[in-house]
Amino acid sequence: MTTTQTTPIIGQATRRVTGPLKVSGQATYAAEFSKDFGPELAHGVLVTTMAASGRISSIDTEQAEAAPGVVKVFTHLNAPELPYEEPVMRPQVQPQVGDPLRPLQTDQIFFSGQTVAVVVAETLEQAEHAATLVRVTVDETAADTDLHAAHQRPEADEKQDTPRVSAPKKPAENGKMTGRPSDVTVGDPDAAFESAAHTVDLDVEIKTLVNHPIEPHATIAWWEGNTLTVHDKTQWVDNARHKLALAFGIRQEEIDLKVDALNTVKDAVEGVLGVQESSVRVITPFTGGGFGSGLRTWPHTFLTAMAARELDRPVRLVLTRAEMFTSVGHRPHNLQRVRLAADADGRLQSVIHEGWQETSLYEEYTMNLLNTTRMAYATPNLRTTYRLVPLNIQTPTSMRAPGECSGAHALEVAMDALAYEIGMDPLELRRRNNATHDVQGTPFSSKHLAEAYDLGAEKIGWADRPLAPRSMRDGDDWVGLGVSSTFYPANRMKASASARLLPDGTAQVHSAASDMGPGTYVSMTMVAADTLGLPLDKVKFALGDSDFPHAPVHGGSMTMASVGPAVKAACEAAIQAVIELAVDDDASPLAGASADDVRLEHGELIGPGGRETLMAAVARHGEPVEATASLGPNKLQALMPSDYAFHSYGCVFARVRVDARTGEPRVEKVVAVNDVGKVINPTTAASQTIGGVVMGIGMALMEEAILDPNFHRYANDTLAEYHALTNRDAPEIEAHFVGEPDYELNPLGARGVGEIATVGTSSAVVNAIYHATGARVLSLPATLDKLL
Amino acid sequence: MSPPSTVSVTITVNGEAQRLDLDPRASLLDTLRLGLDLNGTKKGCNQGACGACTVLLDGERVNACLVLAVTCDGQKVTTVEGIGMPDNLHPLQDAFVEHDGFQCGYCTPGQIVSGVALLAEAASGQPSVVDVDLSPDSAAQLSDEEISERMSGNICRCGAYPGIRAALRQAAQTIQPARA
């Protein structure tokens, strides 16, 4: 007798399967595999430069090398030259133009905080001490980190070799490569702007923000012959594996093929090449946050693997919190100008949105800064202009809703300003301009934004809100209510999974996916259990191992929409394999039936002649039954030709209080309502939404990496001075969902949750601050000095 | 500079006496993680700003990254492993799971240890800045404002604060706090 599940699991609020491990500290994050090694494990510590531009003229390691316990000091003078081969196709997470920083392969300094040496010692304390003894002298050249000044320079032409403002190169050649075109024009936006009844013209600034997962980035690497194994804090083990293989020039073909063929199932890959073992393996079962910082594979990971190879022993390297500001990317500082025009009824006539965003001198980081503007509201005339400004900073990277978060903030603040220019309720303005298709005319797959507006308005008490700003006072506080729409593209990429049904009545499901916190473990377990008709505790889902079937990047809110359908398909393939065994087995009640006539219902195989449980058939077979499946588009769904534009939609309502005496703003309550298609696990979907809101409040009120204009270095590079929201800062937050499964996107109908709630929060908060005080904050964060 | 010699100390960790020969520069945090393979205590900032490394030192919560291990000779340290393990969770740990008071889980052990200490502090009448009248009764009541104030030394970048508050509320009602 085997156990089956007779009620649905998908859609039911479900506790995390990783919960007991996490609350007892037993979930093992990358740096914590130290326990497997003992004293053989050496410790690496980085040395970074203060200078922001120039060339290293000398580097004195003598004292450091003589310090107790030091094994070796690597600099650009003695580090081995590594191949760092170019991939056949760069993944989306890597800039398409420029070259990644190759640590210790050059004497050139691009930014303050760049790694110039790594000290390896027997113990962490010895390495930390010795790192302070390395003396670096840089022949400095003038550095530029001033986005305000730089963005006003004339645009680059090919004759100029000094960094200037430029349109993104690759998208200019082929916008379809990244989906981030430099210039898009629809209709005649200038003429429409000039002749409209109501206009607003705003300059918005969003300062540098830093991802700051609480787990610092960390790597443990070791070699056995030519085989490299790495524990690395990453959101994509397959990409880390690929990048490490390219860096060291090892057995590139089969690894490229795995990524290139984007998950042709692993067996097939091995069949083609006759390869039995991979030569690089990345194992990261737990990732302590990331919010984008783990998409790419960063210099310290290569350095750790290099040191391990040169020293022929395992090496562990953990970034310090200060290094987390300058080693693993950040949300780039950007300036935007938004012009909106509407007719007397509040119908948009023109939208002109320009953005200037910093990037590094060595790579062209692009993000979806203006993409939201091209789909958010119905308008006959529109122009978006996207420009990059190379500065002496590290290459920025994705931070939760990269681009959308900054761009939609400016758009939504401008929408609020336009409502007040017209004298119209800001929610009504949004309702009036609710779009059915994007500016290219592609219809949305499934959109329930109007319902979200209704529900959110009810939950926050919008109907009682007086229109005029500075009209709600409670004691010493001005009180305000603000709203923002929120949008995020629904993406999907090819993913693979394997399902193995065991004679003991349990199932093992694998995919090289990640779980940085959204609950991939529990949601995939739910999908598998639901598909197999098994109770949750009979299914074990594992991820974070590059030897598992390929998964796309754990970012862009697409893990559920990509890996979920692969898990479902792998389970269905395993069920089919069992059916074929059963109909051929005289001992089965299904013997002799056509496999096509047998179906699975609540864990039972039902055929014309009888029924038995799926796992009873597996048990009788006596051997595991395994199947793999791979499905989804080869490129990001958003870049594929389609009849539909796929997005998620929602709104965020915020109630704030601003102390009339001190100007201190506090968020009192937030209601987030999102249409994300099918919600697989309401528990974790709500947590993701709440987490996105918390990060959005931080962006609105306090987060800012302050760049010292003289030293070109972040002046507040600690968590004490870079203010992330604390518990006391976090208000009551309601997360609601509307809508229906979006089966146009994938067989589960799920569109992903992680990023959409971050997008609208900052704008809802500053719009609420305007309502409370009458002060329109255009440069984030909205600190109290801007409200006095 | 002559190489630092090691210092011998005895620290009782989760009830077990550990005799350790320590580099005097080693923090209690690194000693737990690298010396004793107790990785439940997390390193988030190493500067006392994030709270991920919170442990109980003779019953009081401290940031283990700011404590030199050699100063703990003869003292008792309780880490998250000493509060409860997966097959035997402390009621507060169970409440964190029930209310989804975490996402990535990295700050969670620090939150749990802080929470256990908080319940004891409030029960013993230690005030916080929320208690304007500094009355023991007010401290013991543990309103949401009290909980959030007293948990604000522990940053959760995943933003699970409402769940953390709910877990603390539940635990405050169901368990009789005792000094660890």
Q: What is the pLDDT of residue A265?
A: 35
**Contact partners, residue A397, CB within 8 Å, separation at least 6:** A93, A211, A292, A293, A295, A296, A328, A329, A330, A365
A183 lies in some domain? yes
A658 and A747 inside one domain: yes
For residue B1, pLDDT beyond 60: no
Q: Does A502 reside within a domain?
A: yes
SS3 A535: coil
Shared-domain flag, residues A257 and A339: no
Distance CA A417, CA A426 (A): 8
Contacts of A727 in chain B (CB under 8 A): 147-149, 151-152, 154, 156, 161, 164-165
A341 and A363 share one domain:
yes
What sign has the CA pseudo-torsion A312, A316, A320, A326?
positive
Closest CA of chain A from B112, distance in Å: 7
Burial A66-77 (b: 16+ CB within 10 A, else e): ebbbbbbbbbbe
Q: Which of B147, B157, B164, B170 to mutate to test the interface with A (most CBs of A within 10 A)?
A: B157
- Specify which residues A496 forms β-bridges with: A630
Residue A150 lies in a domain: no
- As a whole number of angstroms, the distance between CA A24 and CA A785 comes to 42
CA distance A130 to A120: 9
For residue A186, the enclosing domain spans 163-210+329-433
A533 neighbors A600 (Cβ within 8 angstroms)? yes
Distance CA A232, CA A52 (A): 28
Helix (H, G, I), strand (E, B) or coil at A5: coil
Residue A10 falls inside a structural domain: no
Q: Does A64 touch chain B (CB under 8 A)?
A: no
A606 and A527 fall within a common domain: yes
Same domain, A771 and A714: yes
Question: Which candidate from B30, B37, B100 shows the least CB-CB separation from A684?
Answer: B100
Contact B106 A213 (CB under 8 A): yes
- The predicted structure's pLDDT at residue B2: 53
Q: Which residues of B touch A732 (CB under 8 A)?
A: 162
Q: Are B83 and B180 spatial neighbours (Cβ–Cβ below 8 Å)?
A: yes
Contacts of A510 (CB under 8 A, 6+ apart): A497, A498, A500, A541, A542, A543, A545, A548, A549
Same domain, A206 and A260: no
- Domain end, chosen from A433, A461, A478, is at A433
DSSP A292: T
Q: How far is CA A143 from the centre of its chain?
A: 30
H-helix segments, A442-544: 449-460, 520-532
The confidence band for B130, taking pLDDT boundaries of 50, 70 and 90, is confident
Which CATH number fits the domain B91-174, given the four candidates 1.10.150.120, 1.10.10.60, 2.30.40.10, 3.60.15.10? Answer: 1.10.150.120
With CB atoms and an 8 Å threshold, state whether B105 touches A26.
Answer: no
* Tokens of residue A67, six digits: 């310090």
**Would A171 be classed as within a structural domain?**
yes
List the 638-697 stretch of A: residues with Cβ below 8 A of B.
Answer: 683-684, 686-688, 690-695
B47-60 burial code (b ≥16 CB/10 A, e <16): ebbbbbbbbbbeee
Residue A757: exposure state from Cβ atoms within 10 A (0-12, 13-18, ≥19): buried
- Search chain A and give the residue with CA nearest B41: A25
Is A718 an interface residue toward B (CB < 8 Å)? yes
DSSP string, A330-357: -BPPEEEEEEEEE-TTS-EEEEEEEEEE
In a domain, A616, yes or no: yes
Q: CA–CA separation, A40 vs A452, rounded Å?
A: 57
Helix/strand/coil percentages in chain B, nearest 5? 40, 15, 45
Nearest-5° angle of CA A98, CA A410, CA A780? 85
Are A74 and A199 in a shared domain? no
Q: What is the C-alpha to C-alpha distance for residues A58 and A72, in angstroms, rounded to an integer?
A: 18
SS (H, E, C) B152-169: CCCCCCCCCHHHHHHHHH
- Alpha-carbon distance A223 to nearest alpha carbon in chain B (angstroms): 21
Edge-first strand listing for the sheet containing A70-75? A70-75, A115-121, A42-48, A315-318, A218-224, A227-232, A280-282
- Cα dihedral A465→A466→A471→A476 (10° resolution): -20
Let me know whether A251 and A335 are in one domain: no
Q: How many domains would you assign to chain A?
A: 4
Contact of A53 with A114, CB cutoff 8 Å: no
| Rounded distance between C-alpha atoms, residue A1 and residue A95, angstroms | 55
CATH class belonging to B7-80: alpha beta
B37: which chain A residues are within 8 Å (Cβ-Cβ)? 34-35
Q: Smallest Cα–Cα separation from A334: which of A480, A506, A151?
A: A151
* Distance, CA of A481 to CA of A427 (rounded, Å): 11
Whether A516 and A426 map to the same domain: the answer is: no
Using the structure block, give the residue that is written with the tokens 């965003």. Answer: A357
Sign of the dihedral defined by the CA atoms of residues A147, A150, A153, A156, in that order = negative
User: Residue A429 in contact with residue A422, Cβ under 8 Å?
Assistant: yes
Structure tokens given for A401: 């809703």
A551 within domain boundaries: yes
Q: How far is CA A132 from CA A50, A61, A324, A433, in A?
A: 13, 10, 18, 59
| B47 touches A: beta carbon within 8 Å | yes
A103, two tokens: 């640590």
Nearest CA in chain B to A22: B105
CA distance A453 to chain B (A): 23
Q: How far is A726 from chain B (nearest CA, A)?
A: 5
Report if residue A441 sits inside a domain: no
> Closest to B46 (Cβ–Cβ): which among A22, A126, A321?
A321
Q: Kindly report, residue by residue over B79-94, the tens digit of the pLDDT.
A: 999 999 999 999 999 9
Could you report the per-residue pLDDT of A471-523, keeping only the tens digit for each? 999 999 999 999 999 999 999 999 999 999 999 999 999 999 999 999 999 99
> Using CA atoms, how far apart are residues A161 and A149, in angstroms rounded to an integer?
18
> A687–B86: do the CB atoms touch at under 8 Å?
no
Distance CA A9, CA A11 (A): 6
Strands A665-675 and A382-390: unpaired
Q: Is B108 exposed, middle or buried (0-12, 13-18, 19+ CB in 10 A)?
A: buried
For tokens 């320590």, the residue is B22
Q: Where are the beta strands (DSSP E) in A513-624?
A: 539-542, 599-601, 604-607, 610-613
Q: Which residues of A685-718 are buried (b: 16+ CB within 10 A; e: fewer)?
A: bbbbbbbbbbbbbbbbbbbbbebeeeebbbebbb
pLDDT tens per residue across span A127-141 = 999 999 999 999 999
CATH number, domain at A718?
3.30.365.10
Out of A28, A123, A286, whose CB is closest to B23? A123
If asked whether residues A662 and A788 sit together in one domain, one would say yes
**Which of B:49-88 have CB within 8 Å of A?**
49-50, 52, 79-81, 83-87
Taking an 8 Å cut-off on Cβ atoms, the answer to whether B164 and A291 are in contact is: no
Residues A471 and A559 in one domain: no
From B101, which residue of chain A is nearest by alpha-carbon distance? A687
DSSP string, A379-413: -S-EEEEEEEEE-SSPPP---SSTTHHHHHHHHHH
Q: Is the CB of A25 less than 8 angstroms away from the CB of B40?
A: yes
CA end-to-end span of chain A = 72
Q: Give A318 to chain B, closest Cα distance, Å.
A: 10
ipTM of the complex: 0.96
Domain boundaries, chain B: 7-80, 91-174
Same domain for A429 and A474?
Answer: no
- The contacts of residue A162 (CB under 8 Å, 6+ apart) are none
Give the number of A-B residue pairs with CB atoms closer than 8 Å: 200
Residues (pLDDT < 70) of chain A are 1-2, 156-164, 169-178, 251-278
Residue A544: both structure tokens together: 């974070």
Contacts of A62 (CB under 8 A, 6+ apart): none
- Rounded CA gap, A770 and A156, in Å? 38
Q: Using the beta-carbon criterion (under 8 Å), do B109 and A693 form an inter-chain contact?
A: no
